[in-house]
Chain A
Amino acid sequence: MSGARARLAKLPLGVVLVGAFALAAALGPLVAPHDPAQIDLDHEYAAPSLAHPLGTGDNGTDVLSVLLHGARLAGTIGLLVVSLSVVVGTLAGAFAGYRGGLVDHAVTGVADLVQSFPAVVLNVALLAVVARPGVPHLVLALVSNGWVLYARVARGQTLAIREREYIQAARALGMGDARILFRHVLPNLGGPLVIQATSGLGAAILAESTLSFLGLGPGKAASWGALLDQGSAVLLRFPHVALFAGGTIAATVLGFNLAGDWLRDRLDPRR
């Protein structure tokens, strides 16, 4: 979708959705009308009303408040997963691309294996290692397959950069590999990684929701996936819980995907 019109048509939705999410994650817990854990058994699964704009869920908890608190959790986990994945993936990918040979084979081999294995199965198997998964465990489980995408991008870029004259000049001047990698290769990987990280945030948030939906989320914390799980159990009688929870997840993922596409169109002159 190239051309100024398509670009304009894309800009608002992606940016608006991501902006709304960022706002909810930053301020949500402050502006939430209720405590997300507050129990009100008289009004369990109530339809939307003035007191509860999005209705209530299990035990009468306020859906809007759970979603607002959940945004903070989703944002925190998303940012942690993506930043750790970017660091691990970029280092592994750049090193593999720069050194080539056995190192390259090892990194791409592991990446292939991780990427093609069902993500949910891998994450569940890893989370099984701890008795009560908390946020750190969830983050580590998601990084275990999250780094692969960044490694691929970094490796591809490094392969191209490696042959440039300024790298050969640095080598001729007697610079060590590590110094070349950190001073000359890594700073030039920025653009494509930023694009990948933007849609990666959406993917990480979805992965957190999916694991929480399956019952593997961080305990008692208000989580979008856990809310969707509760809503699915009563879907046929009280559809509003699942609709609002799932809609929030879908809109957020869509927003980050659109924002990623938009950034790519802006940053990549070849397109």
Chain B
Amino acid sequence: MSAGLLRYLGARSLRALLTVLGVVTLVFLIVRAVPGDPVDAILGDQASPGDRASLRAALHLDAPLLTQYAIFLGEVGDGTLGHSFRRRDETVASLIAQVFPATLALALAAFAVAWLLALPLGSLAAARRGSRWDLGARAIALFGLAVPGIWLGPLLILLFGVVLRALPLPGDEGAGALGLVLPALTVGAALSAVLTRQTRGAMIEVLSEQYVLAARARGVSPLRVVVVHALRNALLPVLTVGAAQLGAVLSGTVITEKIFEREGLGSLFLDAFFARDIPVVQGCVLVVALLYVAVNLAVDLTYGLVDPRVRLS
């Protein structure tokens, strides 16, 4: 490994660490600015002053802000993220760990749906520019971006769950993997629209390169040219855009978990928000931030390894 590469890796990791620390601090401050009293939310406003004071002390709400911050950093450090206000025998980390696999599965399925739609559609549109395929791909991309998840979800439930009776309805406990199809489509629709546009653009660029022309001249079949020669080189920019959409996908999971009554990070977050369960709100935002920073770091590092030009900037 060259010194330049090492320096790049080091600088990039340091920036990621600073970002996480910044987000943690910001979240801590924002959540503390809530005017509603969490003690009211937990005990109700009929509770005796003694109960309120002891709960306040147990939750460190009576400590100065800096002390609370130190306690919070300690809880981040030991990996528990503190204890839930409402279920005080549970650590926030364990609450998140219980629901995280469901959200991860949804996000991964959404990415899978998006890639499976976008790569063939975008490639076909680029290879047959101006054809019906191209127009179709662009129309799908336009509508995928315009139809909001908050409407697409209910539409899919009505169509596949009620009219066609092909897929399970929300709240169906025994649905298994089939229950993931409609939520994944709901989250993945906008992503597949973005990726289709990207794939089309990148493929048009690559298909006009000299080496593609050379491959064609050597008599390589059109399908092979598109899939083997062009797509491989068009993939890198599309991958980056895909990773940059992680935030949008996570936003989508929050909405979709509500529509489909699924458990997950999003419903845990919203639920904790309405109950003013501060440690849980804070923990969810922190995990989302960590996830986002880790994925972007991974993409940047891969990029730096694959493409030496990136390290220079």
Taken residue by residue from 123 to 144, chain A's Cβ proximity to chain B (1 for < 8 Å, 0 otherwise) reads as 0111011110000000000000
Q: A113-B19, A246-B154 are in contact. Are A125 and B281 (CB under 8 A)?
A: yes
* Cβ contact within 8 Å between A118 and B150: no
Smallest CB gap from A246: residue in B = B151
B157 within 8 A of A: yes
Of the 9-residue stretches A66-74, A84-92, A249-257, which lies at the interface with chain B? A249-257
Q: A210-B150, A231-B154 are in contact. Are A118 and B254 (CB under 8 A)?
A: yes
Q: CA–CA, A116 to B162, complex, Å?
A: 36
Smallest CB gap from B246: residue in A = A116
Q: Which residues of B contact A128 (CB under 8 A)?
A: 30-31, 34, 273, 281
* Cβ contact within 8 Å between B269 and A124: yes
Q: CA–CA, A258 to B284, complex, Å?
A: 36
* Cβ contact within 8 Å between A121 and B296: no
A214 within 8 A of B: yes
Q: A116-B244, A118-B250 are in contact. Are A125 and B35 (CB under 8 A)?
A: no
Taken residue by residue from 23 to 36, chain B's Cβ proximity to chain A (1 for < 8 Å, 0 otherwise) reads as 10001001101111
Q: A121-B254, A124-B273, A130-B35 are in contact. Are A250 and B151 (CB under 8 A)?
A: yes
Q: Which residues of A contact B150 (CB under 8 A)?
A: 209-210, 213, 225, 228, 232, 246, 249
Smallest CB gap from B157: residue in A = A235
Q: CA–CA, A125 to B270, complex, Å?
A: 10
B248 within 8 A of A: yes
Smallest CB gap from A205: residue in B = B148
* Cβ contact within 8 Å between B30 and A236: no
Q: A116-B247, A215-B274, A236-B162 are in contact. Are A121 and B269 (CB under 8 A)?
A: yes
* Cβ contact within 8 Å between A214 and B258: yes
Taken residue by residue from 280 to 303, chain B's Cβ proximity to chain A (1 for < 8 Å, 0 otherwise) reads as 010011001100100010000000
Smallest CB gap from A215: residue in B = B274
* Cβ contact within 8 Å between B30 and A125: yes
Closest Cβ–Cβ distance, residue A15 to chain B (whole Å): 15
Q: Which residues of B contact A246 (CB under 8 A)?
A: 148, 150-151, 154-155
Q: CA–CA, A113 to B18, complex, Å?
A: 12
Q: Which residues of A contact B292 (CB under 8 A)?
A: 116-118
Q: CA–CA, A119 to B251, complex, Å?
A: 6
Among A115, A202, A228, A242, the most chain B Cβ lie within 10 Å of the Cβ of A242
Q: Assign chain A's interface to a size class.
A: 35 or more
Closest Cβ–Cβ distance, residue A210 to chain B (whole Å): 6
A81 within 8 A of B: no
Q: Which residues of B contact A214 (CB under 8 A)?
A: 254-255, 258, 270
Closest Cβ–Cβ distance, residue B186 to chain A (whole Å): 12
B147 within 8 A of A: yes
Of the 9-residue stretches B72-80, B138-146, B220-228, which lies at the interface with chain A? B138-146
Q: A118-B251, A131-B36, A214-B258 are in contact. Are A236 and B169 (CB under 8 A)?
A: yes
Closest Cβ–Cβ distance, residue B41 to chain A (whole Å): 11
Q: CA–CA, A235 to B261, complex, Å?
A: 13
Smallest CB gap from B34: residue in A = A128
* Cβ contact within 8 Å between A121 and B251: yes
Smallest CB gap from B278: residue in A = A128
Within 8 A of A (CB), among B29-48: 30-31, 33-36
Closest Cβ–Cβ distance, residue A16 to chain B (whole Å): 15
Q: CA–CA, A258 to B138, complex, Å?
A: 12
B310 within 8 A of A: no
B116 within 8 A of A: no
Point out residues on A near B: beta carbons under 8 Å. 1, 113, 115-121, 124-126, 128-131, 202, 206, 209-210, 213-215, 225, 228, 231-232, 235-236, 239, 242-243, 245-247, 249-250, 253-254, 257-258
Point out residues on B near A: beta carbons under 8 Å. 19, 22-23, 27, 30-31, 33-36, 135, 138, 142-143, 145-148, 150-151, 153-155, 157-158, 161-162, 169, 244, 246-248, 250-251, 254-255, 258-259, 269-270, 273-274, 281, 284-285, 288-289, 292, 296
Instruction: Identify 7 new A-B residue pairs, CB closer than 8 A, beyond the known A116-B244, A129-B30.
Output: A1-B135, A113-B19, A118-B288, A121-B251, A124-B270, A239-B154, A245-B151
